[in-house]
Amino acid sequence: MQPSAGRSPTTPLYIGLIITLLAVVGYSFYVSRRIASLRELQNNLIDRNRKDSLQLLRIQNELNSIGMSLHTMLDVDPLDTSPRYPLTAWQPQFQRMRDDLQDAFAREQQFSSAGRTPDQQQYLLSSLTQFWDAVERTFAMARGGKEQDAREQIRLSLQARLAALSNAVARLLVQNNESEERAAAQVTEIYDHVQRQAYFFVIGTLIVILLTSLYLIRSNRIVFNQLATLSAQRSELAQTLISSQESTLRYISRELHDEFGQILTAMGAMLGRARNLAPEQSALRAELLEIREIAQGALEKVRSLSQALHPVMLDEAGLEQTIEWYLPVVERQTGIGISYEKSGTPFPVSGNSAVHVYRVLQEALNNVARHSGSKQAWVRLRFRADGLELEVEDRGSGFVATRSRSGLGLVAMRERAELLGGVISFENPNGPGTLVRLRVPKENVTREAQESHA
């Protein structure tokens, strides 16, 4: 459904933004929870299993060392049936290994797997206790002189107990490995689940962004169409106002030139005839002369005002001669020295186009006089192969600096440039000052002249 012309897209965009933010926050919370569960799984299971496995490996190494010691205790010299060393000589070494083994078991209990049953732990401790009790009995026999019975005790009891203890430790290692594998499978499952959810989240976010973008594009298209319509209406209104203004100024100019000019001319002629009829050296003759001079001054002012409102020369002599007439007038009125430069091969400029170019020149020079503070200006008229170019430059402060308070003059210049199908720019040349440049395609300023000539 297309939004109405008066409906703002702000509310739907806010709703889309809120939905997107809620989705981001929700997914971030979900990911944080999953990461926390992964961290807990790693800390409570994987790391503990690894530390427990290291201690079990240490216990296994100690048990292997005890087994090698037991085997060495039973070893005899091939040439002598008596043991190489008495069994009591091994007691300090076994005491040291017992301390190390007990330390390893104590540490192992700190990291024992949560999945281990109390029966398994009790069996391991009881087996260790029974083994050391048997070792004590063996050394007691050896100290009592029963070396042969002690060795038989080692062969029949201690080695079997040691083997059972080693098997129990090995089973615990296998159990830890299996627990690590299950934990790794859980981690993989969690990662896969998070990855799937990430895909769903990205797809959902892209869908929301796509819908929001489509809605925004649609709303912008409507707004741009409205702006284009308003711009066209504004341009049409500006053209109507400018045409009405020029028509009014042309009418007033002609009325001043024709009606008031003829009246003042007739008054001057009548005053001249009346003066000729008055006696020589009379006061009336002097007064009539003074009145005639006042009428002549009024006639000059009317003609000057008529030319200022709409120069008749534009219709009669064209743009070039009108500019050449107008620039000295500006110099006399403002005291600004104007350097005029014309270049290129002249071509005829249509009446309406000439009016617009002349008004741009007029407004630009008015801005120089009012805003720039410059006492020198440069006017350049260039007839190019592709169009007409007019430049007005000064070296003062210019009016570009105060363009934020643009008046109707600048707006009118832009509108006239648009009516001509040209481009007007307001630039800062090298150093202080302002450069106004108007460029108009040749076919736009010569079309009416060519049609009228044809």
Which neighbouring-strand residues pair with 393? 378, 435
Task: Work out the average pLDDT over 164-187.
Answer: 80
Percent above pLDDT 70 for the chain: 88
List, in order, residues 6 or more apart from 49 with CB less than 8 Å away.
Answer: 111, 113, 176, 179, 180, 183
216-224: long-range contacts at Cβ-Cβ below 8 A with a sequence spacing of 24 or more?
A: 216/9, 216/13, 218/2, 218/3, 219/3, 219/9, 222/2, 222/3, 222/5
Q: Tell me: pLDDT of 5 over 60.
A: no
* CATH architecture of structural domain 313-453: 2-Layer Sandwich (3.30)
Of 68 and 208, the structure prediction assigns the larger pLDDT to 68
Contact 202, 31 (CB under 8 A): no
| 270-316: pLDDT as tens digits | 877 787 777 777 788 778 788 888 888 887 787 777 777 777 777 77
Report pLDDT digits (tens) over 9-62: 677 767 777 877 787 777 777 777 777 777 776 666 667 777 777 888 888 888
Residue 403: its pLDDT value, please? 46
Strands in 387-394's sheet, in edge-to-edge order, are 337-344, 376-383, 387-394, 434-441, 423-427
State the pLDDT at residue 454.
Answer: 42
Structure tokens given for 113: 């797997």
Q: How is domain 10-217 classified at the architecture level of CATH?
A: Up-down Bundle (1.20)
What integer is the mean pLDDT of 397-408? Answer: 53
- Residue 84 in this model has a pLDDT that exceeds 70: no
Reported as a pLDDT band with limits 50, 70 and 90, residue 76 is low
Of 166-170, 250-254, 351-355, 435-439, which one has max mean pLDDT?
Answer: 435-439
Q: Give the pLDDT score at 288.
A: 78
Q: Write the single-letter amino acid at 81.
A: T
Domain ranges in the chain? 10-217, 313-453
Is 140 a residue whose pLDDT tops 60? Answer: yes
What CA–CA distances, in Å, run from 414 to 139, 272, 390, 405?
A: 116, 50, 14, 15
Q: Is 16 helix (H, G, I), strand (E, B) or coil?
A: helix
Which one is predicted more confidently, 417 or 403? 417
C-alpha 350/C-alpha 356 separation (Å) is 10
Q: Residue 408 has what pLDDT?
A: 67
**For helices 159-254 and 408-419, angle between their N-to-C axes, nearest 10 degrees:** 90
Confidence category of residue 447, pLDDT binned at 50, 70, 90: low
pLDDT for the residue numbered 181: 78
Residue 112's pLDDT band (cuts 50, 70, 90): confident
What pLDDT is stored for residue 380 in this prediction? 93
- Give me the percent of the chain exceeding a pLDDT of 90: 6
Backbone angles phi, psi at 438, to 5 degrees: -115, 125
Query: Strand, coil or helix: what is 185?
Result: helix
Q: Beta strand pairing status for 434-441 and 387-394?
A: antiparallel
The answer to whether 388 touches 361, Cβ cutoff 8 Å, is no
Residue 234 has pLDDT above 80, yes or no: no
Start-to-end CA span in the chain (Å) = 54
User: Among 170-174, 248-252, 306-310, where is mean pLDDT lowest?
Assistant: 306-310
Q: Which alpha helices (DSSP H) does 371-407 contain, by range?
A: none
405 pLDDT band (50/70/90 cuts)?
very low
pLDDT at 374 over 80: yes
Average pLDDT over residues 132-139: 85
Q: Higher model confidence: residue 7 or residue 443?
A: 443
